[in-house]
Structure 1
Amino acid sequence: MADDGMLVNFDIGPDAFVGAHSAPSFKGGKWTDRQKAKRLAQYHIRKGNTAAAAPKKGDDGTGEFNVARPQSQKKDNSNSNNSNPNHVPFDRSLKRKRPSESSAAPKPNGTGVPPPGTKPGEFVSSLWTQNPASITIESAPEPEPEAQAPTNAPLSDGSTTFTTLGLSPILANHLTTKLTLKAPTAIQKSAIPELIKTDSDAFIQAETGSGKTLTYLLPIVNRIMQLTKPRPSSDTPSGKKETMARHSGLYAIILAPTRELSRQIETVLSTLIHAKNGPHWIVPGSVIGGEKKKSEKARLRKGLNILVATPGRLLDHLENTESLDVSRVRWVVMDEGDRLMELGFEETIGSILAILEKKSKLPNGTPERGSGVPSGEEVLPKRRVTILCSATMKTNVQRLGDISLKDALYIKAEKSAEDEEADNAGKEAGEGKFTAPAQLKQSYAVVPAKQRLVALMAVLKRAFIRQTATPRVMVFFSCSDSVDFHFEVFSRQLSEEAAAAAAATNPTTAVDSSSDSESEAEDTTPEDGKTSKKKPQDKKKKKKPALNPATSPAPTLHPSCVLHKLHGSLPQPIRTAALHSFTTTPHPTILFCTDVAARGLDLPNIDLIIQHDPPFSPSDHLHRIGRTARAGRPGRAIIFLLPGPEEGYVESVLKKGVREGQLARANVDELFRKGFAEGKEKKREWEDRASEWQLNVERWIAEDARMKSVAARAWGSHIRAYATHVGIERAVFSVKGLHYGHLAKSFGLRDKPGDIKVPGGGGGGDGGGRSLAVAQKRGVEDSDEERDERPGNEAMRKMRKIAQGMLKKKGMADEFNIG
C-alpha cells in the first residue's frame, strides 16, 4: 500500500505504462487511415521522439504539412499546451484536419500524413486550408438570362449591301461569294461611304470584332482599283497604253502595333485582291521586326502598292532604305491606336509622319504635274489621308489624333437605344465608351493564390468536356516566363515517341520557315512584275520540317488537344507557325499567350477566353475578351481574381457598362467539381483528385532541376509584372497584398519564398510571404521602400527597380514581351 501511495504522488506521463516500442491505439475513422497514423507514431518512437502524439477528435488543423523538420526549427509550446505534462514540442504535422469536417480520423492528402514522394525538410501546403476568405458576399445564382442580340454582327434587315455602300460590283461580289460576307456591319455601313467619297482624315471607333480592318481596307482597295484601266502614256514615243503594276507606286501605309496583327492585315489584303476579274496587279507587303532586312529590302526594291508595317521597322527603312519611295503615299492608317501609344510609339510615329511630309509630292493638296505622277491618279485623294482606328477613346488616343489628324471626321456605328444607355454607363469608367459585344457572357472567379494552377486545370478540363465540337480556348498571362511554365506543365506527360507520332499526324506542329527562303529566291525577279523563282540545282530529298517548340499535344486535357504558346520572346518564324497552327488545326486547341495576342487579331471561332492574370489596364481587358464573340458569334470569358483587394476590380472595371445578365460570379467549388468530379459524387472526392494532380506537378518540378528553374523564373516575373498595373489600379493590385508563399505553390514550388533562387534575381520575397491581412492585424502597413529595405529583400528591390525603369521608358514591351 505504501508503494502504491508513493506512486500516485509522482508526476507521470501518459506513456509510463506503455512499452518503449509500442504505439498508442487509434479509434474512429477508416482502417487505412488508422494504420497510417499508427505507422507514423511508430516511426517517431523508433527515432526517440516521444512527443509524437496522435490526432485527437476536435483538433483544429493548421492546414500545412511539416515533414521531418529539424528539432531546432520547431516551436516550444510548453507554455500553451497543458495537456502535455512533459513539456516537449508538439509535432504540428499530426494535427492537421480540414476545418469543414467533423470526423476525427485523418484523410489522405488532408492530414498530418505526409504525401508520398516528399523529401525530408520539404514544406507541402494543403490546397484547401489557410486560404484568405473572400471579402464580398457571393449572391445566389441568378437564372440564365435571355440571349442578347449581337451588336457586332452583320446587318440583317437587308436594306444595306456592299454595293449600296459604293463599292465596285467586282469587289462586292467577291465579298459575298468567296468570303461569305452577306452584309456589312454597322461600323462598315457608317464609315465606308465616307472614306470613298471624301478626302478627309477620319477617326473610326467601334467595338471589338465589328470588322474595323475591312472598314478601312475596302475603300483603299476600291479606289486603287480604278487605276487599273489602261491609259495612254505620255512618256512613250509610240503612245502605247500603260497598265498599272507593282512598281507604279506605294499608295497606302498601314501601321500596326504587333507583328501578328501586321501579318493578319496583309493576309486580308491578299484575299481582297484575288477577286475574279479583280486588281491582281496590286501587291501588298509587310515589314516587321524579327524578319530579315535583306529580304524586306528586296521586296521594297521590286515595288509594293500597299505596305503593312510595325512602327519601329518602318522608321528604320525610311531612314536607311533608298529604294523605299513614299512620295505618292495617299493613305496612312494607324490601327489599334491606343496600343500604339501604350507601347511607347508616339515619338516613332511622329518621326514617320515628318518623313512622309518631307518626301511627299503632294504639297498644298495639289499633285505636282510633270514629276512622274501619272495623270490618271485623279481618282485618288488629292492629299494624304490619315485614318486612326481604336476601340476606346482614351486620353493617349486623343493625343495621337492631335499630332496626326487634321479636321478629322469622327465615325462610329449607329447604336440602338439600349446600346446608347450602356454607352452612357460606360463613360463613368474613365476609359471611353462601352464597346463590349452584347452576346459576350463574362464571369469572374475569386480563386485563392494556392489554387490558381488547379483552377486553370479545372476550367480547361470542363471546356473540353462540355463541348461537342472542337473548342478553341485562349489563356492570357502577364509575362512570357509564366506562359513558358504553364506550357510545360500542361504538356509534361508527353513522351518523345508520342511527340513524334503527334507531329506525323498533325503537320501544323512543324515550323514553316519557307517565308524567308522564298523572299530570297525572289530577289532575282525581273522588274516587269512577273515573279520567277529559282529552281533547285539538284533533286535532293527535302528535309523534314523541325518540330515547333511552341506547339505540343496536351493529352492530360484531351486525347487530340493541341497546345500552343505565343509571346514576344519567341523567334518570329516560331511565332508565325504557332499562330497559323492555332487558327488552322482541326483538333481541339489552346493558346497560352501574353497581350501580344490581345489586339486586333481575328482568330476564328474562339469559344472561351481565360484571363489567368488580370490585365494591366481596363482597355487591355476589353481587347482580351474581344478575341471571342466576333462578327455576331457567341462567346464566353472568365477572369481569375485573388481574395481581398483584387475583388474591387469587379466594381471598378468589370461592371462598367455591362449589360444586364452579361456578368456573373462563378463559384470556385463548382468549378473544381465540374473539372475533377467523375460522375455523381456524394462527397467532395474531387478535392482529393485536385490535390493529387497538384502534388504530381510539385513532385515533377522538385525532381527536375530545369523545371524548377523555369518555375522560379515564372514566379519572379509574375511578381515584377504585378507591380506594373496602371496607377488608378494600384489600390486593387497591390504588391503588398500578395502572399509570396501561396503564390509559389501556384507555380509548383515547395521552397519558402526566401529560399527560391530566381534565375538572374537571387532569392525572392520577404522570407515569410506576409500578406496584407497580417499587416493590418499588426496595425502596420509598410511602404514599398520600407518593405524592400528589410533584410533578405535584395531580390524584391531588384524587381522593383526593373519595373520602375520600364515605366520611365513608357512601355514594358521588352521586359514582359508583349510587343
Structure 2
Amino acid sequence: MGDDGMILNFDLGGDSLAPARTSGGFKGRWTDRLKAKRAQNYRAKKSNGNVNVAVGEGPPVRQRAERQERPQRPKAQPAPEPTEPEKPKSRASLVQADSVLKKKRQELKSLGKVPEGANGTFMSSLWTGNPEAAPITADTQTEETEEKQAPSNAPLADGASTFANLGITPVLANHLTTKLNLKAPTAIQKTAVPELIKTDSDAFIQAETGSGKTLTYLLPIVDRIMRMDATSRQAGLFAIIMAPTRELSRQIYNVLETLIHCKNGPHWIVPGSVTGGEKKKSEKARLRKGMNILVATPGRLLDHLQNTTALEVDKVRWLVLDEGDRLMELGFEEDIGKILDILNARSKVAMQVESSMPKRRVTVLCSATMKANVQKLGEISLKEANYIAAEKTNDGEDGEDGSEKFLAPAQLRQSYIVIPAKLRLVGLNAILQRALIRETAHPKIIVFFSCTDSVDFHFSVFTRKAQQTEAEIKHEQFLARQAKRDLKAKGEDGEKKPEPFVNPAIEKGHLLNSQPLIHKLHGSLAQNIRTATLASFTKSKTASILFCTDVAARGLDLPNLDLVVQFDPPFSPDDHLHRIGRTARAGRDGRAVMFLLPGPEEGYVDAVLKKGIREGQLVRADVDEVIKKGFGAEEKSKKRDFEDKASEWHLDVERWVMEQPEVAAMAAKAWGAHIRAYTTHVSAEKQFFNHRGLHYGHLAKSFGLREKPTAIKVPSNEAGGAKGKPARGAQIKGAPGAGKKRRFDMEDIGDVAGEEAIKKMRMAARAMERKGGLSSEFNIG
C-alpha cells in the first residue's frame, strides 16, 4: 500500500490507550450532542498537554476570556476563526478599574469595614458599569441663574386692587387683611369673585397652582349666605363642595372655618365634612343636626345621598367641583353623574326665593388644566357656563390651543439631575443634606415617590439610627426606665392615665443635617394618622421633610415649602404641574428638582419639562457636583474622595438591610412595587418610561439589595391564589403586614401599560369601595 501523504500526530500519554468515552451520556438534538462531544474531546486533549485537535473535532462552542492562552500553532497551520468578536478596549479599562476597586475592598474587608455580600460574593460598585448620560452642552445650564422672575401668582401690587373692591362685605374684607394677612387679591380672585357674586351662571375657573382658587369660590358663597335676613344650621344645606382627596377636603374645610369664625362674622353658618376613612355613624349624627355648607369626597357623598335620609339637598344653591381633572382621573365620573341626578331630582330651589341667593343651582368647576376629561366633566355638569381665567401678564403667551402657555409659577426654579440607577439613593441623601444647610434656617421639603412601599422603605432608611455603642444603649435604657417610673408615679392616684398618642409616621432624621422631622403620607395609612401627619408637617417650626405619594400632589397649601423633590418622575404632565405647584405659592419663591435615569428618560426633558417654561427657569444639575456637595467633599480637592464617602454611606444601608430580615423584605417589596408602578405612565410617555429598559440589578442596589434580581423574593399582599398557590400580591407568612386587610396600591396594577393600567386601577378601586370602603392609595370614599 503506497504512502497517501497523510501526516498523523499521536500523543501516547499515560491514559491514551484507555477506552474512549462515548456520547451516550449526552441527550438532546444531534447538534447539541456533537457540540458536547467536541467540547469533551477538547478538554481531554488539553488536560493531557496536547493542543492538536483530531480530525472531526473543533474548538468548544464558547471559551472564557479568563482561560490561559493556547500554545502557538505551527506556522504552516492557519489559525482558526475566533468564535466570539474581540471586546472593545473600554471594556478592558473597566475590568482593570474594577480589579483595583476589588483590591481596595479586600483591604477594607480585612479591616472589618466592608462585609461580604450574599454567599461570600462582592457587592457591585456604585461607580462602575453605569450607563453614560448625554453630555452637558451649552444649551443646558449647570448652575442656577441669580436673576429672579417676577411672581406670577402673587397678590396684585397695583395699589388699586383690594378685597373691598371685589364686592364682598366689609366684615369679610377686613378679616382677610387684618387676621389672614392677605393684603390684596390675586389675579384670578380679582376676576372671578365679582362675577360669582353678581351672576347666577355656571362657571369654569382656570388658574395656575398656588393662585388662591379655594378663596375664589368660597368668598362668594359665604358672602351671599351672610346677606340672608336670618339663618341657622336648621335653615338647610346651601352649598356642596366636592374634592378628590381627603386631605384637600380637610384643607377646604379649615379655610371655610377661618372665614366663618371672624370678628363680627357669620357665626351662625355651620360647615360640615364627610370623607372616606371616617365613621359613618358620627357623620350621620352631624348631618341630622344640620349644616349649611358641606365639603365631601364623591364616594362618601354619594353613599350618604343614597342611604342617609337626614341629608336633605332640596335647598342646595351651589355645587363646586374642585380639581376637576383629578376627579376624572380617579374614575369619579360615574359617581358625579349619579350625584347630579339626585340633586336635580330633589331640588326645590325654584320654589324658594331669597333676594341674596341664586335663583338656580350654580355649578362651579375648578381646574389648573384644560384637558379633554375636564371638558367632558364640564359637559356633564355645566350649563351655559362662563369661562373665567386670570388676566394675562405681560410675559404670558398663548399656547397652540389658545390657552395661556405658562401654568407653572414664574418664580419657581426647576432643575433636573440625570443620575444612574445605582446612585439614586446616595443622590437623594445628597440633595436632602444640601437643602438642609441652605439659606433658610428651617426648610421644608417634600419628596414624591411612585408607590406606598417605596415611601415606607425610604422613610425607614432616613429615620434609622446610627450604630450605637454599648454605653449609649445602656444610657437609653436608663432613660426609658426613668420615664416609666415617672409615668407610674403620676398615676398613683388610682386613675388610669391614657397613653400619649405616638404617630408612627413621624420620626427624626437622625443621620441628616439638623436632624429634621421626617413625615410619611400615603393612602394605606389610617385616616387619623394621615390627618395628624399633615397637621404636624404644616405647623412644624423646625426643619421638616415629607415623604409621600401623589396623595399630597393636588390642591394642598403647605406653608413655606422650600423644595419639591420628584424622586420618581410623575405619571403624566399634569401630575408634574401639580407636584411642583406645592411650592412657590402666593408669590413666594420655590425650587423643584426631578431625578431622571440616563437613556430614554432624558427625552422627557424636551418633551415635557421644557414646554411652557420661561427662559432660565429650567437647569440641569451635574450629578458629581450634587453628590460632592451633599457629602461634604472639599471644593478644591482634586481626588474624588466624595466617591468613598458616598460608598461608605451606601454600604451602611446595605448592611442594615442585610442584617434585618424584616427590612430586607421591605426593601424587596419596595423594589418590586417601584417596577410595577413604572408601567403606569400615560401612553404618550411610554417611549421615555418603559419598564423593559430598566436595569433591575442596578435598581435593586438603590434599595440596598445585594442579590441578583432573579434571586429577590418580593413579598406580596393578596392571599388565596388558584389551586392553593399564593396569588400575585399574596401575603407571605412572617412578612411585614401579615394578617392585615388587603389594600389597593399602585403595585396592584401589574405589568399593564398606559391607559389600560389606569382603567384597571379604577375598576379595582371601585370594586373595593363597593365591598367595604377599604382605604386606597387614591383616597376613594
| TM-score, structure 2 as length reference | 0.77
Q: Say yes or no: does 1:753 pair with 2:709.
A: yes
CA drift of 1:108 comes to: 3.7
Q: Say yes or no: does 1:424 pair with 2:399.
A: yes
**Is the 1:122–1:751 contact (alpha carbons within 8 Å) kept by the matching residues of 2?**
no
Among 403, 412, 416, which residue is 1:444 paired with? 416
Per-residue Cα deviation, 1:358-379 (whole angstroms, up to 9, x for no partner) = 01002xxxx31xxxx5x5x221
Whole-Å separation in 2 of the counterparts to 1:482 and 1:456: 13
Per-residue Cα deviation, 1:672-710 (whole angstroms, up to 9, x for no partner) = 001012444331111101001111101110111101110
Among 258, 283, 288, which residue is 1:296 paired with? 283
Whole-Å separation in 2 of the counterparts to 1:123 and 1:193: 69
Whole-Å separation in 2 of the counterparts to 1:595 and 1:500: 42
CA drift of 1:112 comes to: 10
Whole-Å separation in 1 of the counterparts to 2:712 and 2:128: 23
CA drift of 1:309 comes to: 0.3
The correspondence of residues 125-144 of structure 1 with structure 2, limited to 5 A, is: 125-135=124-134, 137-139=136-138, 141=142, 144=145
Whole-Å separation in 2 of the counterparts to 1:391 and 1:301: 35
The correspondence of residues 572-611 of structure 1 with structure 2, limited to 5 A, is: 572-611=527-566
The correspondence of residues 330-369 of structure 1 with structure 2, limited to 5 A, is: 330-362=317-349, 367-368=350-351
Per-residue Cα deviation, 1:467-496 (whole angstroms, up to 9, x for no partner) = 341000000000001000000000111789
Q: Does 120-129 or 152-161 show the bigger shift?
A: 120-129
Per-residue Cα deviation, 1:23-81 (whole angstroms, up to 9, x for no partner) = xxxxxxxxxxxxxxxxxxxxxxxxxxxxxxxxxxxxxxxxxxxxxxxxxxx98435575
Which residue does 1:808 correspond to in 2? 759
Q: Say yes or no: does 1:741 pair with 2:697.
A: yes
Q: Say yes or no: does 1:77 pair with 2:37.
A: no
CA drift of 1:416 comes to: 1.8
Question: What is the DSSP-based 3-state SS (H/G/I as helix, E as strand, rest coil) of the residue aligned with 2:241?
Answer: strand
CA drift of 1:587 comes to: 1.3
Whole-Å separation in 1 of the counterparts to 2:577 and 2:447: 15
- Matched AA of 2:683: G
Whole-Å separation in 2 of the counterparts to 1:324 and 1:216: 23
**Is the 1:206–1:391 contact (alpha carbons within 8 Å) kept by the matching residues of 2?**
yes
Question: What is the DSSP-based 3-state SS (H/G/I as helix, E as strand, rest coil) of the residue aligned with 2:644?
Answer: helix
Whole-Å separation in 1 of the counterparts to 2:224 and 2:498: 44
Q: Say yes or no: does 1:491 pair with 2:492.
A: no
CA drift of 1:245 comes to: 1.1
Whole-Å separation in 2 of the counterparts to 1:500 and 1:176: 52
**Is the 1:677–1:685 contact (alpha carbons within 8 Å) kept by the matching residues of 2?**
no
Per-residue Cα deviation, 1:240-271 (whole angstroms, up to 9, x for no partner) = xxx42111110000000000000000000000
**Is the 1:721–1:803 contact (alpha carbons within 8 Å) kept by the matching residues of 2?**
no
Which residue does 1:151 correspond to in 2? 152
Whole-Å separation in 2 of the counterparts to 1:730 and 1:441: 27
Whole-Å separation in 1 of the counterparts to 2:763 and 2:433: 33
**Is the 1:335–1:388 contact (alpha carbons within 8 Å) kept by the matching residues of 2?**
yes
**Is the 2:191–2:389 contact (alpha carbons within 8 Å) kept by the matching residues of 1?**
yes
Question: What is the DSSP-based 3-state SS (H/G/I as helix, E as strand, rest coil) of the residue aligned with 1:596?
Answer: helix
**Is the 1:483–1:565 contact (alpha carbons within 8 Å) kept by the matching residues of 2?**
yes
Cα 1:498–1:135, aligned 2, differ >3 Å: closer, same or farther?
farther
Whole-Å separation in 2 of the counterparts to 1:546 and 1:621: 35
Which residue does 2:425 correspond to in 1? 453
Displacement over 6 Å in runs of 4+: 95-107, 110-115, 494-502, 802-805
Whole-Å separation in 2 of the counterparts to 1:550 and 1:83: 67
- Matched AA of 1:398: Q
Whole-Å separation in 2 of the counterparts to 1:412 and 1:803: 31
- Matched AA of 1:278: G
Q: Say yes or no: does 1:712 pair with 2:677.
A: no
Cα 1:83–1:475, aligned 2, differ >3 Å: closer, same or farther?
farther
Whole-Å separation in 2 of the counterparts to 1:500 and 1:559: 25
- Matched AA of 1:437: P
CA drift of 1:585 comes to: 1.4
Per-residue Cα deviation, 1:604-635 (whole angstroms, up to 9, x for no partner) = 00000000000000000000000000000000
Whole-Å separation in 1 of the counterparts to 2:477 and 2:177: 41
Per-residue Cα deviation, 1:157-210 (whole angstroms, up to 9, x for no partner) = 111110111010000000000000000000000000000000000000000000
**Is the 2:677–2:749 contact (alpha carbons within 8 Å) kept by the matching residues of 1?**
no
Which residue does 1:682 correspond to in 2? 638
CA drift of 1:501 comes to: 8.7
Which residue does 1:225 correspond to in 2? 226
Whole-Å separation in 1 of the counterparts to 2:604 and 2:671: 22
Whole-Å separation in 1 of the counterparts to 2:98 and 2:309: 80
**Is the 1:740–1:753 contact (alpha carbons within 8 Å) kept by the matching residues of 2?**
yes
Q: Say yes or no: does 1:278 pair with 2:278.
A: no
Among 609, 619, 622, which residue is 1:664 paired with? 619
CA drift of 1:410 comes to: 0.3
Whole-Å separation in 1 of the counterparts to 2:717 and 2:226: 57
Q: Say yes or no: does 1:818 pair with 2:769.
A: no
**Is the 1:445–1:640 contact (alpha carbons within 8 Å) kept by the matching residues of 2?**
yes
Among 554, 567, 580, which residue is 1:625 paired with? 580
Per-residue Cα deviation, 1:759-818 (whole angstroms, up to 9, x for no partner) = 1289xxxxxxxxxxxxxxxxxxxxxxxxxxxxxxxxx99932699875334639959813
Which residue does 2:245 correspond to in 1? 258
Question: What is the DSSP-based 3-state SS (H/G/I as helix, E as strand, rest coil) of the residue aligned with 1:174?
Answer: helix
Whole-Å separation in 2 of the counterparts to 1:294 and 1:288: 12
**Is the 1:253–1:308 contact (alpha carbons within 8 Å) kept by the matching residues of 2?**
yes
Cα 1:124–1:225, aligned 2, differ >3 Å: closer, same or farther?
same
Which residue does 1:651 correspond to in 2? 606
Which residue does 1:531 correspond to in 2? none
CA drift of 1:417 comes to: 2.9
Which residue does 2:198 correspond to in 1? 197
Question: What is the DSSP-based 3-state SS (H/G/I as helix, E as strand, rest coil) of the residue aligned with 2:437?
Answer: helix
Among 91, 110, 117, which residue is 2:115 paired with? 117
- Matched AA of 2:161: T
Whole-Å separation in 1 of the counterparts to 2:531 and 2:63: 56
Whole-Å separation in 2 of the counterparts to 1:202 and 1:699: 58
Question: What is the DSSP-based 3-state SS (H/G/I as helix, E as strand, rest coil) of the residue aligned with 1:653?
Answer: helix
- Matched AA of 2:360: R
Q: Say yes or no: does 1:699 pair with 2:655.
A: yes
Which residue does 1:729 correspond to in 2? 685
Question: What is the DSSP-based 3-state SS (H/G/I as helix, E as strand, rest coil) of the residue aligned with 2:501?
Answer: coil
Per-residue Cα deviation, 1:626-662 (whole angstroms, up to 9, x for no partner) = 0000000000000000000000100110000110010
Question: What is the DSSP-based 3-state SS (H/G/I as helix, E as strand, rest coil) of the residue aligned with 2:750?
Answer: helix
- Matched AA of 1:818: F
Question: Percent of aligned positions with the same letter in both sequences?
Answer: 61
Question: What is the DSSP-based 3-state SS (H/G/I as helix, E as strand, rest coil) of the residue aligned with 1:280?
Answer: coil
**Is the 1:145–1:661 contact (alpha carbons within 8 Å) kept by the matching residues of 2?**
no
**Is the 2:154–2:587 contact (alpha carbons within 8 Å) kept by the matching residues of 1?**
yes
Which residue does 2:386 correspond to in 1? 409
CA drift of 1:123 comes to: 4.6
- Matched AA of 1:625: I
Per-residue Cα deviation, 1:705-759 (whole angstroms, up to 9, x for no partner) = 1011101111111111100110100111011110100110111111111111011
Cα 1:406–1:498, aligned 2, differ >3 Å: closer, same or farther?
farther
Q: Say yes or no: does 1:550 pair with 2:505.
A: yes
Cα 1:96–1:309, aligned 2, differ >3 Å: closer, same or farther?
farther
Q: What RMSD, in angstroms, separates the aligned Cα atoms of the two structures?
A: 3.2
**Is the 1:479–1:816 contact (alpha carbons within 8 Å) kept by the matching residues of 2?**
no
Per-residue Cα deviation, 1:504-525 (whole angstroms, up to 9, x for no partner) = 99xxxxxxxxxxxxxxxxxxxx
Cα 1:330–1:143, aligned 2, differ >3 Å: closer, same or farther?
closer
Cα 1:572–1:545, aligned 2, differ >3 Å: closer, same or farther?
same
Whole-Å separation in 2 of the counterparts to 1:190 and 1:732: 39
CA drift of 1:144 comes to: 1.9
- Matched AA of 1:312: G
Cα 1:477–1:442, aligned 2, differ >3 Å: closer, same or farther?
same
Kindly tell me the number of residue pairs found equivalent between the two proteins: 642
Whole-Å separation in 1 of the counterparts to 2:106 and 2:190: 61
Cα 1:99–1:655, aligned 2, differ >3 Å: closer, same or farther?
farther
Cα 1:142–1:291, aligned 2, differ >3 Å: closer, same or farther?
closer
Cα 1:811–1:108, aligned 2, differ >3 Å: closer, same or farther?
farther
